Amino acid sequence: MKKISTLALACLAAFAANAQTAASSNQQGAFAEASVGTTTFKFDAPAGFSKKDNDSSFSLVGGYMFNPNIGVEAGYLDMGKASISASGSGSGTLYGKSLTYNGTLGVEAKATGFLVGVRGVLPVSEQFSVSARAGLLNWTTDATAKVSGTGTYDGTAFSASASAKKSYSGTDAYVGIRGSYSFTKQISAGIGYTQYRLGGDVSTDASNVDINVAYRF
């Protein structure tokens, strides 16, 4: 995350320095933006567990460009889910009676949040531009642990299941870069890459690649 942070912040500084030499004034004013993409969460699974570290994502963002180079943004982000799971079976004796079992254990976490930040836009041509964004994400992670199993004890079949939920939250930084193409004065589309930090008890980084469509009012 440190490398992308340095790049994004350097880009924002460059955009601010070029604020008076912008190429297309139609980038001033309010905008709305929707995106879909894929989030990859960075974490290690415990020994014996498999993991699913990526999921689909979407976001809705609105903002205001003070000039063609510098603006602010705020919005909602659904980063998707990550999970770990393990399964096993075995047999033995318990209090002198035969026991067989087969069970699974899984933990799933879904991350969402509200973001606020700044963005800098650098027009490359009349239709194409590159931009950088940086800010804070107020995130929430809802985790659910589930265990279930079946077996027999002294010839009698049984089944059992249980679950537990816990939520984590915090506020951490995000940074990103993207390229956009304007089809008209109001409508543009692009592809972006953003890194998010989820700190505290969660303590992981998440990267997101998205395709976005924006409308300028």
Taking the alpha carbons at both ends of the chain, their separation in whole angstroms is: 33
Kindly state whether residue 179 falls inside one of the protein's structural domains.
yes
**CATH number, residue 194:** 2.40.160.20
Kindly state whether residue 100 falls inside one of the protein's structural domains.
yes
Kindly state whether residue 127 falls inside one of the protein's structural domains.
yes
- 3-state helix/strand/coil string of 68-135: CCEEEEEEEEEEEEEEEEEEEEEEEEECCEEEEEEEEEEEEEEEEEEEEEEEEEEECCCCEEEEEEEE
Kindly state whether residue 11 falls inside one of the protein's structural domains.
yes
Q: What's the whole-number mean pLDDT along residues 90-100?
A: 78
- The residues, ordered by sequence, that sit 6+ positions from 159 with a Cβ below 8 Å of its Cβ are 148, 149, 150, 151
Kindly state whether residue 70 falls inside one of the protein's structural domains.
yes
Nearest to 185 by CA among 15, 69, 12, 29: 29
Nearest to 150 by CA among 88, 94, 96: 88
Kindly state whether residue 25 falls inside one of the protein's structural domains.
no
Kindly state whether residue 192 falls inside one of the protein's structural domains.
yes
Kindly state whether residue 84 falls inside one of the protein's structural domains.
yes
pLDDT-based confidence at 22, cuts 50/70/90?
Answer: very low
pLDDT-based confidence at 193, cuts 50/70/90?
Answer: very high
| The model scores a pTM over 0.75 | yes
DSSP letter string, 8-50:
HHHHHHHHHHTGGG-S-GGG-EEEEEEEEEEEEEE--PPTT-E
Q: What's the whole-number mean pLDDT along residues 54-70?
A: 95
The boundaries of the domain holding residue 11 are 2-20+30-216
**CA atoms in the 13 A half-sphere facing the CB of 8:** 24
b vs e for 144-178, b when ≥16 Cβ sit within 10 Å of the residue's Cβ? eeeeebebeeeeeeeeeeeeeeeebebebebbbbb
User: In total, how many domains does the chain have?
Assistant: 1
* pLDDT for the residue numbered 13: 54
pLDDT-based confidence at 27, cuts 50/70/90?
Answer: low
Nearest-10 Cα torsion for 26, 29, 30, 31 = 20
* pLDDT for the residue numbered 24: 44
